[in-house]
Amino acid sequence: MDNADIVLQLQGISKSFPGVKALDNVSLTVKKGTVHALMGENGAGKSTLMKCAFGLYHPDEGSIFVGGQQVQLRDARDAMDKGVAMIHQELHPIRTRNIMENIWVGRVPYKKVGPIHWVDEKKMQADTQALFDELEIQLDPRRSMGELAAAHCQLVEIARAVSYGAKVIIMDEPTSSLTESEVELLFRIIRRLTSQGVAIIYISHKMDEILQISNEVTIMRDGQLVGCWPAAELTQDLIVARMVGRKMESRFPPRTPNIGAPYLEVEHLTSANPHSFQDISFTLHKGEILGLGGLVGAQRTELMESIFGLRPIASGTVKIGGKPAKITCAQDAIQQGMALLTEERRASGIIPMLSVLENTVIANQTAHTRQYTGGKLFLSEKKRQQDTQQYIDSLSIKTPTTKTPIQNLSGGNQQKVLLGRWLLTGPEILILDEPTRGIDVGAKYEIYTLMAQMAAEGKCVIMISSEMPELMGMSDRIMVMCEGHLSGILDGANATDERIMMLASTWQKAPEGGAVQ
Amino acid sequence: MTTKKKFDPKQFIINNAIYLILVALVIIITVISPRFFSLDVARDILMQSAVRIVVAMGCMFIIVSGSADLSGGRMVGLTALVSASLAQQAAASLKFWPGLPELPAFVPVLVAMLVGVVLGGFNGWVVAKLKVPAFLATLGSQMIIFGFSSLYFNMEPNRSQPLGSLTQSFRDIGSASLFGVPYIVMIALVVMLIVWVLQTKTCLGKEIFAVGGNLEAARVSGINVFKIQMITYSLAGALYGLAGSMEAARTASATSAYGNAYELDAIASCIVGGCSIAGGVGTVGGVFAGVVIFNVISYGLTFIGISPYWQNVVKGLIIIGAVALDVRKYSAKK
């Protein structure tokens, strides 16, 4: 191998945390101008490895070479100075400042007059513009960061990485919150970067994307290296088999839908927020899985959170089992047999410092306190423990003990704890908002199986999803929203990518400013 | 992945720092002055700690729920005044409420607690309903309460004279003992027990932790966040009221200056005792140790003849050290 072509090399990296060996002698070689995909189930060690490469963690053993030189990365800034950049899955821009200040933060161009460093706004804007022109990003450098959609925030972050002269850019689940057209835009930028010799390390769970964009694929399992292959030699089935170490039969569990009587009836529901959804009517039947598709900004989350009582409603009715239901807070909803797994696991899901146990029982304990106290004052520790253990077993949650703080678990396991939290409330209507986002294939399949099982038991399931295959693979019917309006409901059997996309953009009046087209 | 269960001395020290520091302090002082290690000294320190413990328990509720409270000290001051004004002897020379008969000792205590509940409820309402950030809401109510204290203290015929001539039964709360254990210490211990049970054994306690740990997640899980915030502030108010009457009974007096800056000591004790200022973390044992440690310092340093002015220096260093350790506890994973 020609050494000049290797921009980043990790050799024999090992890293342990108290109680866990997260990385065991893992090596990775990334060549100039290529996209190198890094795959593995949650907890396989991908993120830990990348945090070592980006200086956030210091490996216990092994060495790191950047551009042929062995380096010790002190921290993220050091890594960036040496040419390694990372785009995190969850971005934290400074929303109150504008785009160019976000890009140059920490190294703002200045003019020195006497003892004072004056910010050189002109140069900053020109530099940013030049950077954007080079990457074909169509954004005004002076726009406030807070106005930007997730996809645009990501572009800004990429531009920032380029401005540091990054030779390697690590992207952790870059498409997890992007719509399909935004993914196209991202891919265009990635191709442009690789043509300029930049290498991309691409972490994702989405097979089609990986096969489409990457040159090489490294697969990890349980903190160890499985191997590295040229993407051309791989297929989805091969990748899955190597990731899980077993053969995955199918991506979706088989099911025979048994649709029953109407159960949830929503009529002319309009949000109290004039910019949100309007006049939404739909019916959900027992035993049905209803997919809810649409682009970012279609107000799908807002609709579901309003039905669940978290957001105020201006008009319209919700009937459950034929009876009008008055739901003004989450507790009403839970007592009516509803459960809502929210989209933002960190913001509105987990209670990070509390234990797996507390996180599991909290909703049921609040809504059905009697189950835990038997009408007395004190909680039954035994019952709490039993309920938690039941879901640790049935959802195969990987956790050392029930007392472990949930923040120590991997993302997929956190998500399963949250699912357990809701299943424990014995829901008749289970609403899942992007339930498989950022989750590995194994856990995904388990969540699909669970949905199928719930439906088979005659429960109703609503799944908001931005992933087409998932929408089409799991739903009996697909409801599509666009800019707060219900644009159509498709039968699951004859839904296609094109028809869903059509409906998702039906209400679109004018294309948004910026680069998304 | 392998899981190893091994005794890690570094982790043990980090997790139990507060107790170790307390033991170390006692040992050091005892080595210098062996008479320090005695039951009498322990009882003195506990008596001095009792009021602070009750205030800190109230403060802990609020910190665990992810909020803050700067009004606690002034609430102690006002309730000390209220309880003292209702606990005067019938024949007191300068009586606050002339003509008021001598009341059983529990009456002033209950009234003080009720006043605390009302004021705490006001704090809760401002924070939970008006959505004023807790730090600022309670900074405001701190001033309001001190204003009312001064007005009450200055009422005719009292005109800002220190309240005295309290009934024997009321003063007994602060100074009498049963089998050598002062009542005031018993009250503090009972309060700790109740708070511990409430926190660890009841649904309310768990909901307070959840609200402090992640308010949005708590709301989605069906917890009535408004109710929880009202309850935590009211409960804290009740404890401040109890502390106020304990303080009046202990000193057999009261002025509007009582309780000044107690809230800062309480916050410091909570933080030193392992509460997270971000909410969601806190234990009765830790906060108790936090209070005691400060009293061991003031008592112990005086005991071995070090200038009392050094006390604040040592206390300040301990606060900074405790938080620095705490930060490491949560970033220990890196």
Minimal CA–CA distance to A327: which of A342, A340, A313, A341?
Answer: A313
Query: pLDDT band at B28, cuts 50/70/90?
Result: very high
Say whether pLDDT at B334 is over 70: no
- Looking at the fold, whether A178 and A306 belong to one and the same domain comes out as no
Query: pLDDT band at A249, cuts 50/70/90?
Result: low
A107 found inside a domain: no
A394 found inside a domain: yes
- Looking at the fold, whether A182 and A75 belong to one and the same domain comes out as yes
B190 found inside a domain: yes
pLDDT given for residue A375 in this prediction? 82
- Looking at the fold, whether A413 and A432 belong to one and the same domain comes out as no
B206 found inside a domain: yes
Say whether pLDDT at B1 is over 60: no
Say whether pLDDT at A507 is over 70: no
Minimal CA–CA distance to A412: which of A399, A424, A402, A401?
Answer: A399
A123 found inside a domain: no
Interface of B with A (CB under 8 A): 1-5, 8, 11, 197, 201-203, 206-207, 209-210, 213-214, 216-224, 276, 280-281, 332-334
Residue B40 burial (CB < 10 Å; 0-12/13-18/19+)?
Answer: exposed
A251 found inside a domain: no
- Looking at the fold, whether A354 and A476 belong to one and the same domain comes out as no
Query: pLDDT band at B332, cuts 50/70/90?
Result: very low
Please state which of the ranges A190-199, A250-259, B156-165 shows the lowest mean pLDDT. A250-259
Give the containing element (helix H, strand E) for A267: strand A262-271
B21 found inside a domain: no
B313 found inside a domain: yes
pLDDT given for residue B226 in this prediction? 96
Here the tokens at position A96 are 């109150």
pLDDT given for residue A482 in this prediction? 86
B31 found inside a domain: no
Task: Look at the block and give the residue holding tokens 């109703």.
Answer: A460
CB contact under 8 A, B202 and A421: no
Report DSSP letters for B74-113, one per residue. Answer: HHHHHHHHHHHHHSB-TT-SS-SSTTPPPPPTHHHHHHHH
Say whether pLDDT at B213 is over 90: yes
- Looking at the fold, whether A169 and A305 belong to one and the same domain comes out as no
- Looking at the fold, whether A321 and A385 belong to one and the same domain comes out as no
pLDDT given for residue B130 in this prediction? 96
Sort out which chain B residues have CB atoms less than 8 A from A426's CB and list them: none
What's the total number of domains in chain A? 3
A63 found inside a domain: yes
Say whether pLDDT at A508 is over 70: no
Name the minimum distance, in Å, from the CA of A245 to any CA of chain B.
15
Stretch A27-32: mean pLDDT, rounded? 94
B1 found inside a domain: no
- Looking at the fold, whether A215 and A165 belong to one and the same domain comes out as yes
- Looking at the fold, whether A437 and A475 belong to one and the same domain comes out as yes
A-B CB pairs within 8 A amount to: 102
B230 is in which domain, residue-wise? Answer: 36-329
Facing residue for A352 by CB, picked from B213, B224, B332: B213
- ipTM of the complex model: 0.87
Say whether pLDDT at B317 is over 60: yes
Q: What are phi and psi of A464, to 5 degrees?
A: -80, 130
- Looking at the fold, whether A416 and A451 belong to one and the same domain comes out as no
A296 found inside a domain: yes
Residue B210 burial (CB < 10 Å; 0-12/13-18/19+)?
Answer: buried
What's the total number of domains in chain B? 1
CB contact under 8 A, B219 and A348: yes
B301 found inside a domain: yes
Q: Which of A215, A244, A273 is the last residue of a domain?
A: A244
Answer yes or no: are the C-beta atoms of B220 and A310 closer than 8 Å. Answer: yes
The half-sphere exposure of A153 on its side-chain side, counting CA atoms within 13 A, is 22
CA distances from B33 to A41, B22, B43, B44, B300 (A): 62, 16, 17, 16, 9
Query: pLDDT band at A405, cuts 50/70/90?
Result: very high
Q: What is the CATH number of the domain that holds B73?
A: 1.10.3470
Query: pLDDT band at A492, cuts 50/70/90?
Result: confident
A360 is in which domain, residue-wise? Answer: 345-426
Q: Would the CA dihedral through A323, A327, A330, A335 be positive or negative?
A: negative
Top-confidence residue, B26 or A148: B26
Facing residue for B203 by CB, picked from A222, A379, A398: A379
CB contact under 8 A, B220 and A310: yes
Residues 6+ apart with CB under 8 A from B268: B290, B294, B315, B319
Here the tokens at position A134 are 């080079």
- Looking at the fold, whether A364 and A411 belong to one and the same domain comes out as yes
A517 found inside a domain: no
- Looking at the fold, whether A302 and A438 belong to one and the same domain comes out as yes
B13 found inside a domain: no
Sort out which chain A residues have CB atoms less than 8 A from B333's CB and list them: 17-18, 408
**Can you point out the beta strands (E) in A286-401?**
289-294, 313-320, 323-324, 338-341
Q: Which of A244, A268, A292 is the last residue of a domain?
A: A244
Q: pLDDT tens for residues A107-150?
A: 888 888 888 888 888 999 999 999 999 888 888 999 998 888 77
Facing residue for A348 by CB, picked from B220, B222, B280: B220
pLDDT given for residue A107 in this prediction? 84
Q: What is the CATH number of the domain that holds A83?
A: 3.40.50.300
Q: Which of A244, A273, A297 is the last residue of a domain?
A: A244
